[in-house]
Each structure stands twice: as C-alpha cells, then as structure tokens.
C-alpha cells in the first residue's frame, strides 16, 4: 500500500510550493540491482553478496546485466557445490560470473551470443564468458545452461534476469578439447587426437560433446575394440558420432528431441526426468561449460550402426 508524502520545496514570490508523490516513485529512482534482487526475494544471493563483500560490484554505475539465481536455485545445488560456496574466494568467482557489462534485454538475445563476465580464469587475465542459448522457438532461454525464468527486471544501474539454476560451472577449463583432459574421459581425449578432431574442438565455433567415461569404453565388446585398435578412420567416425554442431545444455532439451551428429547419425533424448538420458545413455555429469560449447559425460559409447 502506497503512502502519501509532501515535501515543501521553497518559497518563491511569497508562495509556498509543495510536491506530492508516493513511495513507489522514490523506489523506482533508488532501485539498483540489489534492490531488484530483494524485490524478487533472492535472499540467498543477497546474503552471499554481503558475505563476500561484493556489494560495490553489484551497485556500480553500470550499465550491467546481472543473472540472479533464485533461492530455490541455490537450494538445488549439489551438496559439494554448497560446500564450495563456503569458501569466500570461490564464491566471489561464481558471483562475479553472474555479472556482464552492458544493458541486455530479452529482445536483444541471440542464440550462441557470449558476454564477458567480471570473473576471470584462475591465474589468468581472460574474462570468463556467459553464453546465451535459445531453444524451442524461444520457450527456453539459458545463460550458460541455466534457464531464465523472469526477464527484464529494470534497475537504475542495469537490468536483472532471474535464473532457476546457479551458473556454477563456468568455462574455467577452457575449450572442449582442453576439458577432455579430465581424468575420467582420457579415452575421449586420445580418440579426438587420433581421429584428428582435437584442433576442431579447440576453435571458437560452438559444439556439444557427449563424452563417454573411460568405464564406458572399457565395457565395449572385444569385437569393437579390435575394429578401433590402430584404425584412425574408425576412431574418427566414433568420435564424430558424439559431436553436435551448436551448444545443447540439458536444460534446453525436451523428451524426444533429436540431434544429428557430425557423422550424420541421430541421437534421441529418451528422458529428462532427473538425470537426462540420450540414446539410452545416462548423462552422469552434464553441462560442463566450455569456452566453445558444452560437454556431457555419458555412460555409453554411441557407436555407428556398422560397429555393433
């Protein structure tokens, strides 16, 4: 409920002037990004900003665009990630990743556009980038894989978009090719090198890589292992069957979505309930953001039909 206030301004030619208004007009004047966060009920985000002493970053003159996670987004973080956020230095890195410079409204969003954040790779000067993706004719829009659920909340120093997931996996590992150095997907790294695809996945063009775990490769039948051993053409075909052109985060997928791999085969989203499954493979560690796309770690190898 708005309350009336009266401010006596000054006397001019013996006449007293007054200005009438209400508190909504004052709030509009004073509403910076953190005020908007409070209005949206993003109290967990606000507490973390205060704890990390980053208030100035969010109240800077701007204009800035801030992707603010909801309270539920923080509640749904993996338990180990909640523990990581107890570390002030790490929490700063994640919070700063949610700030980009410029005033970016929903109407200006384009698929695969990237914005430089205020967060940096550890020990480097390079700024981590936030990638926007538009799925299903605009019904789903994600920022680094996190769905935006409320758009265009204006502030005096910029604009706010509310997220249903924290952007807790910034592209700190670098490109897709660099990300395959993770210990649990060594065979993928070797396969990309032997298949002559590592250089392609190190470029700027966006890709999605479904990376089978080492256990998935070790479970292949001997017949398939024999076909692949020392056969760079066969290895390349297998690797191409795990690569999509474009960035496809799991939050942008719907059941029965179909994707065409670099090899020309079709991958189908079987389920999006809980962990996403594609072609019968569980994506056990999805949405590793890379500077040029995304990597999903899978439990099965997507073999071309002639290799079964």
DSSP state of 124: S
Looking at every residue in the chain, the average pLDDT score rounds to 90
Distances in Å between the alpha carbon of 18 and those of 2, 14, 75, 129, 231? 19, 13, 49, 50, 86
244 strand-pairing partners = 208
What's the full length of the chain, in residues?
308
Does residue 291 share a domain with residue 199?
Answer: yes
Look at residues 130, 163, 196 and tell me which one is the last residue of a structural domain.
Answer: 163
Q: Would you say residue 22 lies in a domain?
A: no
- Single pTM value for the model: 0.88
Q: Is beta strand 293-298 parallel, antiparallel or unpaired with respect to 207-212?
A: parallel
Does residue 193 share a domain with residue 151?
Answer: no
Does residue 38 share a domain with residue 153?
Answer: yes
Terminus-to-terminus CA distance in the chain, angstroms? 69
Where residue 41 sits, what CATH number does that domain have? 2.30.180.10
Does residue 83 share a domain with residue 47?
Answer: yes
The tally of domains found in the chain comes to: 2
Q: Quote the pLDDT of residue 102.
A: 97
In angstroms, the CA 303 to CA 222 distance is 14
As to burial, measured by CB atoms within 10 angstroms (0-12 exposed, 13-18 middle, 19+ buried), residue 90 is middle
Q: Would you say residue 141 lies in a domain?
A: yes
Does residue 148 share a domain with residue 240?
Answer: no
Query: Is the per-residue pLDDT at 3 higher than 60?
Result: no
255-302 pLDDT, tens per residue?
Answer: 999 999 999 999 999 998 878 999 999 999 999 999 999 999 999 999
pLDDT-derived band of residue 123, with 50, 70 and 90 as boundaries? Answer: low
Provide the residue range defining the domain that includes 72: 27-163
Does residue 254 share a domain with residue 153?
Answer: no
136: closest CA among 113, 114, 107, 111?
Answer: 111
């Amino acid at each position: 409920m708005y309350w009336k206030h009266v401010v006596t301004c000054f006397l001019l030619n013996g006449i007293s002037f007054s200005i009438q208004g209400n508190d909504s007009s004052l709030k509009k004047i004073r509403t910076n990004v953190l005020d908007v966060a409070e209005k949206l009920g993003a109290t967990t985000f606000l507490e973390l900003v205060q704890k990390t002493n980053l208030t100035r970053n969010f109240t800077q003159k701007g204009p800035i665009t801030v992707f603010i996670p909801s309270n539920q987004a923080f509640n749904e973080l993996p338990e180990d990630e909640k523990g990581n956020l107890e570390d002030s230095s790490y929490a700063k890195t994640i919070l700063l990743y949610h700030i980009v410079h410029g005033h970016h409204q929903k109407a200006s969003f384009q698929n695969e556009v990237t914005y430089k954040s205020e967060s940096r790779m550890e020990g480097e000067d390079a700024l981590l980038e936030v990638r926007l993706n538009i799925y299903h004719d605009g019904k789903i829009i994600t920022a680094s894989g996190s769905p935006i659920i409320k758009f265009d909340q204006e502030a005096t120093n910029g604009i706010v978009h509310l997220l249903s997931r924290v952007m807790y996996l910034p592209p700190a590992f670098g490109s897709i090719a660099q990300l395959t150095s993770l210990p649990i997907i060594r065979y993928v790294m070797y396969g990309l090198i032997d298949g002559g695809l590592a250089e392609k996945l190190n470029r700027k063009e966006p890709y999605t890589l479904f990376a089978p775990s080492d256990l998935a490769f070790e479970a292949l039948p001997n017949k398939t292992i024999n076909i692949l051993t020392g056969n760079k053409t066969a290895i390349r075909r297998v690797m191409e069957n795990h690569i999509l052109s474009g960035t496809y985060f799991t939050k942008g997928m719907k059941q029965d979505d179909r994707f065409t791999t670099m090899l020309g085969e079709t991958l189908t989203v079987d389920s999006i309930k809980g962990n996403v499954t594609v072609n019968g493979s569980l994506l056990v560690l999805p949405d590793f953001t890379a500077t040029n796309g995304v990597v999903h770690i899978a439990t099965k190898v997507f073999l071309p039909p002639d290799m079964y």
